[in-house]
Amino acid sequence: MKVAAVQMVSTPDRDENLAAAARLIDEAAAAGARLVSLPEYFCQFGWKETDKFQIAEAEGSGPIQDMLSAKARQHGLWLAGGSLPLKTPDPAKVTNTALLFNPQGQAVVRYDKLHLFSFQDGERSLDESRTMVAGQQCVVADTAVGRVGMSICYDLRFPELYRALGVVDLILVPSAFTETTGRAHWELLLRARAVENQCYVLAAAQGGMHANGRRTFGHSLLVDPWGEVVASLPLGEGVVLGDIDTERLQSVRRMVPALRHRRLRTPAELSS
């Protein structure tokens, strides 16, 4: 079954980004995608960290969620909304949230980014914890393309999160990796997560120079359970397409039954 990762170079203008995302979702749907993922921060790449407060929505309402719901319903597909800011009781902080919409346009899964990114290279300093509240739990969803595990960007560096998801067919990693960290680690980590968890990994990325001067790495990918890159887009706006092959999944798991050979379990598994 075909899936798609949308790559964007989002701007500080929410409405401009929503129009671009809608157009790229249409393109993915026309190519036959049954699940589409947008990148992290698809709705805004602001001038400053606090700009997100101006577009933050309450869960269940607002122009960002309305567009995602309408597009999922229009095309009858599963739509992973990259990430968007949702309001919290603290007016000075939001969550970085991925919503998954079903083909009826209903948001059936909410995942709040667990690991908040910080980065210093001597020239710039980023720290998401200044404006965001971290999530508290991992999230999976059963979809038409299989069992899907949710994550966002910096989560990619924490393999215990993905193991805690259990056996999944597809992991989503909507991201906005910096040029520096992306060049060093992006593909390496995505392929590792696919191999470790013997599943497909779909990573929709921001990819290019943004108005605020930040450069993101791009290279949206679909990786198969053997760690092979099925499809990729280096930079710029576009759509990455590929198939989730159930037989490929089962073949890899039969050949190297690592998931069955595990000796250690997560706390969640031990308590169930």
Residue with tokens 């906005």: 176
Helix axis angle, 63-75 relative to 14-30, nearest 10°?
Answer: 10
The answer to whether 113 and 155 are in contact (CB under 8 A) is: yes
How far is Cα 3 from Cα 97, in angstroms, rounded to an integer?
21
Annotated catalytic sites, by residue? 40, 113, 153
Nearest to 74 by CA among 39, 101, 96, 98: 101
Cβ neighbours for 171, distance < 8 A, ≥ 6 positions apart: 148, 149, 151, 162, 165, 193, 194, 197, 199, 200, 201, 202
- Give strand ranges (E) for the chain: 2-7, 35-37, 78-80, 84-87, 94-101, 107-112, 118-120, 125-127, 140-143, 146-149, 170-172, 200-203, 207-209, 215-217, 220-223, 229-233, 238-243
235 C-beta neighbours (distance < 10 Å), count? 17
How far is Cα 227 from Cα 183, in angstroms, rounded to an integer?
18
Token reading at 210: 């943004």
Token reading at 151: 């994550």
